[in-house]
Amino acid sequence: MGWKTLDDVAMAGKTVLVRVDINVPMESGRVTDSTRIDKIKPTVEDIIARGGKVVLLAHFDRPKGKVVPEMSLGHVKDALAASLGRKVVFGSDCIGAAAKAAIAAAGQGDVVLLENTRFHGGEEKNDPALAGEMAALGDLFVNDAFSAAHRAHASTEGLARLLPKAAGRLMEAELKALEAALGAPVRPVVAVVGGAKVSTKLDLLGNLVGRVDHLVIGGGMANTFLVAQGREVGTSLAERDMADTARAILAKAAAAGCTIHLPLDVVVARAFKAGAASETVDVGACPADAMILDAGPLTVAALTKVFETCKTLIWNGPLGAFEIEPFNPATNAAARVAADLTRAGKLVSVAGGGDTVAALNQAGAAADFTFISTAGGAFLEWMEGKTLPGVAALNA
Ligand code: ADP
Ligand code: MG
């Protein structure tokens, strides 16, 4: 970890440009979930406590380089002020005279919020001229937007190359958790990968088999592996044309000493709908007119044993169609096992992915996990072993 934290840089009397992700969901002009706003509070408070002036840079939605009034960060200003409990001064542009005026108008302890960086076409092109105009506004750059770090944009990557820089508290927590899970983990390590399709998680599976001791494959993507092993999966979601790919992943795992765990028993139904009649059968016994929608209790028992032998767990993707009853028991049960082992101090557990976070919340397990990443695409790219430009620029 070559990056600095807020502890490593002096900021008294300095104007600190802080890249945040406050791309919150909104309905008819109101913020419906302020989680992302609430999460930047430690960084904002820390900078203010150290005597710095906070200037927030952020994107909002996808205006594609044009000024789109509905996508103005001005709509987020009140929710931001309420969450932070501070006065927010809004600048109607993220560069130039409007930005400078807002910064000048902000007093000690006020927070400056500048307009949507994506109103400028140069943002997504990582235009050095735009990054330069942003850099001219401040003395120091703090990146607290891990969830935007997989994109090399002017405010995430370009700007970091022009000013002294540090990771914000949220970025720091995310990087430390991910490093502990996959960078330099305490072994043995188990990865759980579930979800719908192998095709969307090929790079992820390919990277993990070379890095973890156990790989649990669940959800719809397990069906593709079962097909590759010559098993009948009936009308299940399965990518039959990916069988060769699945076999290549199994071979790579074997060569790397990674043990693959596939379902031993499965919950099958004739219809993919809530309350559908279901039965649990041996993995080789899926009826031709039925589909696999969850793993069964034997599988959960086997996973429990694996989790108990491991020190680190990293999880992306549910083990079944968890959104629909009665196809959530395996995901719920495995999540609870991981949560209990974590609470007992026996396991470091890190999870991420949109549906995964929803599933762990549904299971009541999220609070006990060591770290839950809400970063979406950035988390997945990191699990794929890719370099995130926003993080690399903090290191440079
Ligand atoms: P994440 O968003 O956490 O990365 P994914 O989007 O890859 O996870 O996968 C979640 C989706 O996979 C859910 O919508 C779930 O219903 C679906 N899924 C899991 N198991 C099955 C299955 N056996 N058949 C069909 N869909 C499944
Ligand atoms: Mg998803």
State in Å: Cα 320 to ligand 1 middle.
7
Answer yes or no: is the C-beta of 185 below 6 A from any ligand 1 atom.
no
Q: What is the pLDDT of residue 106?
A: 98
Instruction: Please report, rounded to a whole number, the percentage of residues in the chain having pLDDT higher than 90.
Output: 95
Q: How far apart are CA 294 and CA 327, in angstroms?
A: 5
Collapse the DSSP code of 363 into the 3-class scheme (helix H, G, I; strand E, B; otherwise coil) and give the result: coil
Q: What is the pLDDT of residue 91?
A: 98
How many degrees, rounded to 5, is the angle at CA 184 between CA 183 and CA 186? 130
Residues with Cβ within 8 Å of residue 117, at least 6 apart in sequence: 57, 58, 59, 94, 123, 134, 153, 154, 155
Answer yes or no: is the C-beta of 353 below 6 A from any ligand 1 atom.
yes
Q: How far apart are CA 135 and CA 129, in angstroms?
A: 10
DSSP 157: I
How far apart, in Å, are the Cα atoms of 372 and each of 24, 35, 58?
Answer: 18, 13, 22
Q: What is the pLDDT of residue 1?
A: 67
Ligand 1 mutation target, pool 323, 350, 355, 381, most atoms within 8 A of CB: 355
Answer yes or no: is the C-beta of 220 below 6 A from any ligand 1 atom.
yes
State in Å: Cα 194 to ligand 1 middle.
7
Q: Minimum-distance ligand to the CA of 218? A: 1
State in Å: Cα 303 to ligand 1 middle.
18
Catalytic residues: 36, 197, 354, 377
Q: What is the pLDDT of residue 28?
A: 86
Cis-peptide into 326, omega within 30 deg: yes
**Residue 389 phi/psi, 5° resolution?**
-55, -40
Residues with Cβ within 8 Å of residue 394, at least 6 apart in sequence: 2, 3, 4, 143, 160, 165, 166, 167, 171
Would you say 18 and 56 are in contact if contact means Cβ atoms under 8 Å apart? yes
Answer yes or no: is the C-beta of 384 below 6 A from any ligand 1 atom.
no
What DSSP string describes 293-309?
EEE-HHHHHHHHHHHHH
Domains and CATH numbers, the chain: 6-168 (3.40.50.1260), 185-383 (3.40.50.1260)
* Predicted TM-score (pTM) of this structure: 0.92
State in Å: Cα 196 to ligand 2 middle.
8
Q: Which residues of the chain have pLDDT under 70?
A: 1
